[in-house]
């Protein structure tokens, strides 16, 4: 079953708490660079302690030992997912997996899934066919390194699953409702239903939820399009 992740892309803890209060408990939360830089691990611990599954989207990309340490620290926070850049190479990816396992063991927690950024959904590599080829090539590299899956747009999810197998995870940002028009800074977008049909395991939505008059209703609409029936 696919999972809906609400992107809490706000400036501080007060705004984050306000955003989270508008969501159904069935979604996960994404904490990215802006909020983590402002509030650090304390807010991650707070939300995780409340029972929210956390996707920590820091997109680590550094020398292997540094990434290993960062993933170790992230895993100790109790997050479910974290991200690295596939472009960091196989050694860095393997170090990330090692660090995530170490941190989880130290905290007595399950290890988070490590996902590799293939190509940001704000960009393209030529035509969509050329973009898909690049994303699949990076997904195959990610699989060879032993990480759990990749971040790609819903437009490439089916091709990634075909190349890497159904158990290789796909997390897809750039999810928009049909007819919404505005894609903001995203270039490769699709609807919740299209992403699920393509095999996406995790769907990330931010502005389509929090830009709506009723974010909880928007989240419930997305879940319905994903064919997930839940109570708010």
Element (DSSP H or E) covering residue 216: helix 215-225
DSSP letter, residue 119: S
Q: Is 187 a catalytic residue?
A: no
Indicate if the alpha-carbon torsion angle 151, 197, 123, 55 is positive or negative: negative
Indicate if the alpha-carbon torsion angle 133, 33, 78, 50 is positive or negative: negative
**Ranges of each domain in the chain:** 3-225
CA angle, residues 17, 18, 21, in degrees to nearest 5? 85
Does 228 score more than 70 pLDDT? yes
Name the catalytic one among 59, 76, 143, 187. Answer: 59
Q: Which of 97-111, 143-157, 171-185 has the lowest mean pLDDT?
A: 171-185
| Burial per residue of 114-129, b for 16 or more beta-carbon CB atoms within 10 angstroms, e otherwise | bbbbbbbbeeeeeeee
Position 59 scores a pLDDT of 98
Position 183 scores a pLDDT of 53
Collapsing DSSP to helix, strand or coil, 48 comes out as helix
Comparing C-alpha atoms, which of 169, 104, 172, 111 is closest to residue 143? 169
Q: Which of 42-46, 113-117, 155-159, 178-182 has the lowest mean pLDDT?
A: 178-182
pLDDT tens string 194-216: 999 999 999 999 999 999 999 99
55 beta partners: 30, 81
Domain 3-225 has CATH 3.20.20.70: yes
Note whether 117 and 85 are within 8 A (CB): yes
Note whether 152 and 123 are within 8 A (CB): no
Q: How many CB atoms lie within 10 A of CB 182?
A: 9
Distances (CA, A) of 218 to 164, 177, 232: 32, 9, 11
Comparing C-alpha atoms, which of 148, 145, 187 is closest to residue 171? 148
Q: Strand (E) positions, 52-136?
A: 54-60, 81-85, 113-117
Distances (CA, A) of 199 to 2, 17, 131, 156, 182: 8, 31, 18, 10, 24
Note whether 59 and 85 are within 8 A (CB): yes
Position 229 scores a pLDDT of 57
**Phi, psi of 29, deg, nearest 5:** -120, 140
pLDDT tens string 164-201: 999 999 999 999 998 765 555 667 889 999 999 999 99
DSSP letter, residue 9: -
Does 30 score more than 70 pLDDT? yes
């Amino acid at each position: 079953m696919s999972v809906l992740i609400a992107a809490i892309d706000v400036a501080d803890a007060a705004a984050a708490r306000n955003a989270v209060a508008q969501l159904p408990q069935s979604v996960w939360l994404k904490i990215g660079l802006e909020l983590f830089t402002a509030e650090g691990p304390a807010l991650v611990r707070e939300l995780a302690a409340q029972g929210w599954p956390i996707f920590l989207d820091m997109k680590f990309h550094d020398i292997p030992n540094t990434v290993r340490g960062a993933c170790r620290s992230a895993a100790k926070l109790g997050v479910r997912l974290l991200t690295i850049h596939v472009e960091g190479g196989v050694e860095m990816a393997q170090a990330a997996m090692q660090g995530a396992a170490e941190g989880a063991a130290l905290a007595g927690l399950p290890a988070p899934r490590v996902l590799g950024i293939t190509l940001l959904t704000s960009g393209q590599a030529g035509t969509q066919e050329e973009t898909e080829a690049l994303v699949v090539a990076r997904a195959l590299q990610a699989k060879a390194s032993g990480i759990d899956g990749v971040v790609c747009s819903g437009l490439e999810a089916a091709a990634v699953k075909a190349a890497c197998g159904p158990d290789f995870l796909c997390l897809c940002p750039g999810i928009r409702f049909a007819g919404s028009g505005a894609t903001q800074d995203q270039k490769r977008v699709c609807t919740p239903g299209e992403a699920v049909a393509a095999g996406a395991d995790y769907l990330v939505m931010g502005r389509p939820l929090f830009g709506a008059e009723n974010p909880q209703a928007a989240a419930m609409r997305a879940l319905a399009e994903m064919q997930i029936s839940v109570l708010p």
